Amino acid sequence: MLQESAQGEALRVLRRVFGYDSFRGQQESVIEHVVGGGDAVVLMPTGGGKSLCYQIPALVRRGTGVVISPLIALMQDQVDALRALGVRAGFINSTLDFEERRVVEAEFLAGELDLLYLAPERLRLEATTALLERGEVSLFAIDEAHCVAQWGHDFRPDYLSLSMLGERWPDVPRVALTATATRATHREITERLGMKGARDFVASFDRPNIQYRIVPKSDPRKQLLRFLKDEHEGDAGIVYCLSRNGVEKTAEFLCREGVEAVPYHAGLDAGTRAAHQSRFLREEGLVVVATIAFGMGIDKPDVRFVAHLDLPKSVEGYYQETGRAGRDGLPSTAWLAYGLQDVVQQRKLIDGGEGDESFRRRARAHLDAMLALCETVTCRRARILAYFGQESDGRDPAPCGNCDTCLTPPETWDGTVAAQKVLSTIVRLKRERGQKFGTGQIVDILLGRKSAKVIQFDHDALKVFGVGADMAEAEWRGVVRQLLAQGLVEVEGEYGTLALTDASADVLRGEREVQLRKDVRPPKAPSRSKPK
Ligand code: ADP
Ligand code: ZN
């Protein structure tokens, strides 16, 4: 009976406060469980409706729901949106001055808040935990819970201290939520937050209305323009670039070409960023060109496409970013252009960047998984779902029919000889002590080009000089890119030197075949010339 009334209460709040008719997916079960005092780990894709999973229990239960979120920049907006619905919400973070903070604290202590948003670093302060102990907490919601996972792509050390919540408030239910959850991350969330007794709610990560497409990069801005003109004229969308400079240049380019586009990155002043973001939310056909600083927590249902001009660092990141498309369930496109230079650049960033060796190893593993997704000849969606551990009964999910590899299955060709040519060139260059050679030099040698650097090192005297004249430069770069993705070549050090891997030896010895995708055209057969 009690159960039933709590359920009825949740539905009433959904309708009265939020104005929705019915729950979506697993919302109702999560809410029922948390209202009843249980802990929950909720894995739901972006746009799945995670917020209500803690907002409604916070409204139904006595006391204040404390929401821990790393997204300080969004707290004001989230709280404003809740207040507009009549929910008594507040936040405490570093942007508040002393007086503002005092007001929120007083409201909390007086039991006048339904929801209180806190940044995770706050909870390391004794003053904060003491404050929470003096008031009444109805539940703890740990948003973006994957931030606790050290093997994840977005680790935040402050999250580790959240394990104390269960110790200090054993009777207060906790709900951890994330949109990124491989099995490993899920396990880490449960362990590190001390939530072994929690119930798991795992929604499907499939976003069937998003069409995934990954194309080889040649002239990315022109390719992007073609894609926009052909398929998304006048649509709202997001274009992601790695660098601020890339963002600026691309936004200018699109404007020149008659596409309404604005830039967004952390180097712009706060006023400009806010103005561009609110235009994006308000207007119908605006394109935002942005670094990944843009998008977290942005809730615009009719984003029709997400385009990447540079390779994301991980499948998690790619999934999260592309997940901002098509929240309204209508057909949308995730489009990515990627090339060899992306791989080399990202490897350099990892090798030359900060962090210890285990951090770098992790970053490389994330990048490798992303590369494998780019180069797969099977269904992209199936790959993504398998990556998130969502294969159905142990088998990979069936081909989806709505991604580029399903729609136009890539042809493959036997690239064993081409691979051997690349690998034996690398072997020969290794003997040049102290010198580092990247892809450019290897390709020049294969093509038989007497560049200044080739002459300088007598590389035109190598046995492999010119053995690749039957293919074009772009095709050789494609071969190297695919060898990288297949782990047959690796990039070393901050100069992007190509090196062999353990697996390369088998190819060189002729004991392993190499299949390549056909966006790299195989060499023309010399014996048969096709009449025009
Ligand atoms: P997430 O945090 O999982 O990315 P949100 O909580 O921001 O997702 O919800 C995504 C969108 O779906 C929001 O606009 C939200 O208002 C809407 N939404 C959530 N639950 C429902 C529901 N039961 N009915 C209709 N719309 C909903
Ligand atoms: Zn598919």
- 493: alpha, beta or left? (left if phi > 0; alpha if psi -120 to 50): left
Dist. CA 212 → ligand 1 center (Å) = 23
- What is the separation of C-alpha 466 from the centre of its chain, rounded to a whole number of angstroms? 41
Q: Answer yes or no: is the C-beta of 51 below 6 A from any ligand 1 atom.
A: yes
Q: Would you say the ipTM is above 0.95?
A: yes
Distance, CA of 148 to CA of 156 (rounded, Å) = 6
Instruction: State pTM to two decimals.
Output: 0.78
| Three-state secondary structure of 371-390 | HHHHHCCCCHHHHHHHHCCC
- Expressed in angstroms and rounded, the spacing between residue 289 Cα and the centre of ligand 2 is 27
pLDDT at 524 over 60: no
Q: How far is CA 413 from CA 41, 178, 508, 523, in A?
A: 45, 40, 18, 10
Ligand nearest to the CA of 213: 2
pLDDT digits (tens, 9 = 90+) for 278-334: 999 999 999 999 999 888 778 799 999 999 999 999 998 999 899 999 988 899 999
- Output the pLDDT for position 323: 92
- What is the predicted pLDDT for the residue at 497? 81
Q: 236: pLDDT confidence band, cut at 50, 70 and 90?
A: very high
How far, in Å, from the CA of 530 to the mean position of ligand 1? 58
> Could you tell me if the CB of 439 is within 6 A of ligand 1?
no
Residue 210 backbone phi and psi in degrees, to 5: -95, 125
pLDDT digits (tens, 9 = 90+) for 418-466: 999 999 999 888 766 667 788 889 999 999 999 999 999 999 999 999 9
Q: Determine the average pLDDT of the residues in 499-513.
A: 91
Q: What is the pLDDT of residue 432?
A: 65
46 close to ligand 1 (CB < 6 Angstrom): yes
User: Distance from the CA of 402 to the center of ligand 2, in angstroms?
Assistant: 5
Distance CA 25, CA 30 (A): 10
Q: How far is the CA of 111 from the centre of ligand 1 (A)?
A: 27
Identify the sign of the CA torsion 491, 493, 498, 503.
Answer: negative
Q: How many CB atoms lie within 10 A of CB 329?
A: 11
**Closest Cα partner for 154 from 326, 296, 347?**
296
Pairing mode of beta strands 332-338, 497-500:
unpaired
Is the shortest distance between the CB of 245 and ligand 1 below 6 Å? no
Specify whether the CB–CB gap between 478 and 410 falls below 8 A.
no
In tens, the pLDDT along 270-287 reads 999 999 999 999 999 999
Q: Is the CB of 44 under 6 A from ligand 1?
A: yes
71-93 mean pLDDT:
92
